[in-house]
């Protein structure tokens, strides 16, 4: 009987998991995943010997979601598989290894895990601002990194397996961020980095009975060391260089204690493991692989993406270049007022009323279109316009999610509402998803200037804008 109950429970769980998978509600379309490989060389300014210099290759997984990023890397190559002293009184080589513990054996048991954020502000708080001053709190980010390195220390006849764990807790400040001229040439970014770092010695080396042996290698029984670290990092496309100044106290370990400088040069490459796009009205690509569009960064959209996955404005898909999109609006009797590389303003009739049309675009495609109606002189005419437009939109797109209040009393209709509105104390906003959920959102709102605004935001292309802003920080 118990066996039958267990089998029934397992079948229920399997069916539930399968139904959830088809529903797709738990799938994450907003996190980017990469296969990352790094090659870097590190050297101390105090010890230029080859055995004191790290040359390693790593392989792992990296992810980012808006400002949050992380990675786990494993060592797959190291030019030094052990650290060996040149003479009986040579201690500096082991101090240098403590300073640069990545100079470890060629072993995938050596790994590092990092989690950080490019800004401590909300992503939307940065996105809403067009410029960020040279000194701005939004430029501050931070990261934590935990690493484990295994190697062997060899001195005379002594061979000691050593495990070094490292914890770094750092703040970052992005001083400079520039696009490199030319197509697909990447970016140049300059950071100031500072914070806390430590070293903890373990393995056989850290055993309580090996105190005397520890003195043989680094003249101290200590197994833990703490430091403050300050550095600067320059990233140019896939190449990077970093200079760090550490201070692990006034101990007596040559090559490690006191002020020490570390120089690192390297190269990293990412292979984008891009998520499959979900199709409106279809099952997931996992269930219907024929609809899957596999794309690389900067690749042209497939015909499926162009036709079926984008919000429309005046029956024009919000997925074209700015010039082409504007030309199609002009064919519908809209007049171009002004334009630049990323914006265009037009005027004309929308829903039988005079309105301005603002079009926003990246260098490749339009992502947002706003309709701004004329200012109203009275609250009654403004709220009537809002409610009428809301009713029409609800018939086409379904019921919205709305916030409608002035002060503490929602839907109050007296002469004070217009004053509250101009003081930014009045909120009227409705967001429509409905049958456009996979394409984007339509937002109806009243501005503090007593104007009705209707904004069409394409989901796919607005995410591309978020990625651009993410890279700027």
**Is residue 454 within a helix (H) or strand (E), and if so which, with residue range?**
strand 452-458
**Is residue 471 within a helix (H) or strand (E), and if so which, with residue range?**
helix 459-472
Distance CA 415, CA 5 (A): 68
* Distant-in-sequence, close-in-space partners of 463: CB < 8 Å, separation ≥ 6: 30
343-361 residues labelled b (16+ CB within 10 A) or e (exposed): ebbbebebeeeebbbbbbb
- Alpha-carbon distances of 10 from 21, 22, 299, rounded to whole Å: 16, 19, 43
307 by DSSP, 3-state: which? helix
E strand map for 223-258: 224-236, 239-247
Distance CA 242, CA 262 (A): 8
Q: Is the pTM of this model over 0.75?
A: no
Would you say the C-alpha torsion 345, 346, 347, 348 has a positive or negative sign? negative
CA 79 to centroid of chain Cα atoms: 32
Distance CA 32, CA 53 (A): 34
Distance CA 44, CA 46 (A): 5
Which class for 137: exposed (0-12), middle (13-18), buried (19 or more C-beta within 10 A)? exposed
Which class for 309: exposed (0-12), middle (13-18), buried (19 or more C-beta within 10 A)? buried
- From first to last of its 473 residues, the chain has per-residue pLDDT tens of 545 545 555 454 455 444 444 444 444 556 778 899 999 999 988 888 888 899 999 999 998 887 899 999 999 999 988 899 888 888 899 999 999 999 988 777 899 999 999 888 876 666 544 457 778 888 999 999 999 999 999 988 888 899 999 999 999 999 888 766 654 556 788 999 999 999 999 988 888 888 888 888 888 889 999 999 999 999 998 899 999 999 998 778 988 998 999 999 999 887 777 554 443 333 333 333 333 332 333 333 433 334 457 888 998 999 888 888 999 999 999 999 988 888 999 999 998 899 999 999 987 889 999 999 999 888 889 999 999 999 999 988 888 999 988 775 544 455 578 888 888 888 899 999 856 667 889 999 999 999 999 999 988 888 877 776 666 66
CA 367 to centroid of chain Cα atoms: 20
DSSP codes of every residue in 353-370: EEEEEEEEE-SS-EEEEE
Distance CA 54, CA 398 (A): 61
């Amino acid at each position: 009987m118990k066996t039958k109950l267990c089998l029934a429970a397992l079948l229920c769980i399997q069916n539930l998991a399968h139904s959830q998978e088809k529903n797709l509600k738990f799938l994450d379309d907003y996190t980017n995943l990469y296969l990352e490989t790094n090659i870097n060389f590190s050297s101390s300014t105090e010890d230029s010997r080859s055995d004191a210099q790290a040359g390693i290759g790593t392989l792992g997984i990296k992810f980012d979601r808006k400002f949050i990023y992380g990675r786990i890397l494993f060592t797959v190559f190291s030019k030094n598989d052990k650290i060996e002293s040149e003479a009986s009184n040579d201690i500096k080589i082991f101090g240098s290894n403590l300073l640069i513990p990545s100079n470890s054996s060629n072993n995938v048991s050596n790994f590092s895990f990092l989690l950080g954020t490019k800004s401590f502000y909300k992503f939307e708080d940065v996105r809403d601002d067009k410029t960020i001053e040279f000194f701005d709190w939004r430029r501050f980010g931070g990261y934590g990194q935990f690493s484990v390195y295994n190697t062997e220390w060899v001195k005379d006849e002594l061979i000691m397996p050593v495990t070094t764990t490292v914890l770094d807790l750092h703040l970052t400040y992005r001083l400079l961020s520039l696009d490199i001229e030319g197509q697909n040439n990447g970016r140049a970014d300059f950071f100031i980095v500072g914070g806390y770092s430590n070293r903890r010695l373990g393995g056989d080396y850290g055993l309580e009975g090996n105190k005397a042996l520890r003195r043989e290698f680094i003249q101290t029984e200590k197994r833990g060391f703490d430091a403050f670290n300050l550095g600067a990092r320059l990233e140019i496309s896939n190449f990077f260089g970093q200079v760090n100044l550490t201070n692990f106290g006034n101990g007596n370990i040559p090559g490690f204690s006191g002020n020490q400088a570390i120089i690192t040069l390297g190269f990293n490459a990412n292979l984008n493991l891009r998520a499959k796009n979900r199709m409106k009205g279809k099952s997931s690509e996992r269930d219907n692989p024929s609809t899957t569009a596999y794309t690389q960064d900067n690749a042209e959209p497939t015909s499926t993406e162009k036709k079926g996955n984008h919000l429309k404005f005046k029956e024009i898909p919000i997925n074209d270049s700015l010039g082409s999109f504007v030309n199609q609006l002009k064919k519908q009797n809209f007049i171009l007022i002004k334009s630049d590389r990323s914006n265009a303003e037009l005027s004309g009739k929308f829903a039988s009323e005079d309105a301005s049309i603002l079009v926003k675009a990246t260098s490749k495609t339009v992502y947002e279109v706003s309709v701004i109606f004329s200012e109203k002189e009275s609250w009654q005419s403004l709220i009537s316009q809002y409610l009428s437009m809301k009713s029409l939109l609800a018939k086409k797109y379904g019921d919205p999610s709305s916030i409608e209040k002035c002060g503490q009393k929602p839907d109050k209709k007296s002469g004070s509402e217009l004053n509250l509105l101009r003081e930014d104390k009045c909120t009227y906003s409705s967001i429509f998803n409905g049958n456009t959920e996979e394409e984007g959102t339509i937002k109806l709102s009243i501005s503090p200037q007593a104007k009705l605004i209707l904004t069409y935001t394409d989901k796919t292309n607005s995410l591309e804008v978020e990625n651009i802003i993410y890279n700027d920080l």
